[in-house]
Amino acid sequence: MPDWSAYRGVLVYIEHREGIAKKVGWQLLGQGKRLADKLEVEVMALVIGHNVGQLAEEAITYGADRVFLVDAPELKDYRTYPYSRASMKVIHEVKPEIVLFGATATGRDLAGAIATHLPTGLTADTTELDVEPHPSRLLQASRPAFSEKMMATILCKQYRPQMATARAGVFEALPKDPSRKGEIVQIDFQIQESEIAAKVLDFIQDQSKINLEEAEIIVAGGRGLGGPEPFKMLQELADALGGVVGASRAAVDAGWIKHEHQVGQTGYTVRPKLYFAIGISGAVQHTVGMQNSDLIIAINRDPDAPIFKVAHYGIVGDLFQIVPAITEEVRSR
């Protein structure tokens, strides 16, 4: 095994849009800290953007011991080339042994670009991250494989840093602690706009898209709804609570609702404050995607449905009577 002793520490990329962090960055800082504690090293954050100093401070409150801040006008909007250049500069200077990114569209793009240039390996879309402590210090990055039928654990033995993207919602963020102390290191980075082929002309928000991963309240429905029409009833409850609608794969496969609503092994992994599972039996491929929700309320007419094993509260009965009653009660408050 080569001597990798120059590489130490866990570095986490903090993704944001206009200075607002995506939750996955804080979740990975939490997991990064758990890995760093095992390896007896520090956990560090990488913040790239323009006028994003407050994000660097926020990263400390979520557990970063040191934050590397790359701030330049050319980095205002995410673009692969300048962001990967900035990331590689930090990686070359800091030499972390592990680098983690959210498995978001941006995280996948950035991590892939960096991995090809360094060069090192990249384990994409992981759902479990652990480390073998001294002497190997290997990252054990696991992800579903073979059409999600088994878990594969992937090791990067020949290169450093070891890199992975990880799904949002899988890991728990540390509680925000404004009293936590850490260091912010400004990285000197220069790039000419003329060097960057891609230009951002405008951002057009797709209002129709839902964001399950960032949602605090999810009202999810399954095959028990019997068709697409009753999802309107779920939308009404979600609207009354300020949440979004989720779904089981059975409902998605039946064509009742779009895949972007699917929760579970082949959908999104979510960690909302409140999760309603309505007419969902609780197959393991579904529960793996929602069992870390803070509060789970299941509504099912079958008292033996497995969903009640992961639910904090269970209501046994007909969803067509119960859901409108809850919506009415919420609206009256």
Annotated binding site for FAD: 223, 248-249, 262-266, 279-286, 300
Phi and psi, residue 143, nearest 5°: -150, 155
> Binding residue for ligand FAD (CB under 6 A) from 110, 286, 326, 327?
286
DSSP 8-state secondary structure symbol assigned to residue 18: T
* Contact stretch for ligand FAD (CB under 6 A) within 64-72, 76-84, 172-180, 259-267: 259-267
If binding is defined by CB under 6 A, does position 151 make contact with ligand FAD? no
Q: Which amino acid is at 125?
A: D
Bridge partners of 67, per DSSP, are: 45, 184
147 is written with which tokens?
């059409």
* Contact stretch for ligand FAD (CB under 6 A) within 3-11, 179-187, 195-203, 298-306: 298-306
Least separation in angstroms between CB 22 and ligand FAD = 21
Is the Cβ of residue 27 or residue 269 nearer to ligand FAD in the bound state? 269
If binding is defined by CB under 6 A, does position 249 make contact with ligand FAD? yes
If binding is defined by CB under 6 A, does position 259 make contact with ligand FAD? no
Distances (CA, A) of 265 to 123, 126, 248, 279: 17, 12, 10, 18
If binding is defined by CB under 6 A, does position 287 make contact with ligand FAD? no
If binding is defined by CB under 6 A, does position 137 make contact with ligand FAD? no
Least separation in angstroms between CB 3 and ligand FAD = 41
Burial class of 155 by CB neighbour count within 10 A (0 to 12, 13 to 18, 19+): middle
> Binding residue for ligand FAD (CB under 6 A) from 52, 124, 238, 280?
280
| Contact (Cβ atoms closer than 8 angstroms) between residue 241 and residue 220 | no
Cα–Cα–Cα angle for 89, 93, 97, nearest 5°? Answer: 105
If binding is defined by CB under 6 A, does position 170 make contact with ligand FAD? no
Is the Cβ of residue 162 or residue 248 nearer to ligand FAD in the bound state? 248
Is the Cβ of residue 79 or residue 301 nearer to ligand FAD in the bound state? 301
Q: DSSP 3-state helix, strand, coil percentages of the chain (rounded to 5)?
A: 30, 25, 45
Which candidate, 228, 223, 230, 217, places its Cα nearest to that of 279? 223
Least separation in angstroms between CB 267 and ligand FAD = 4
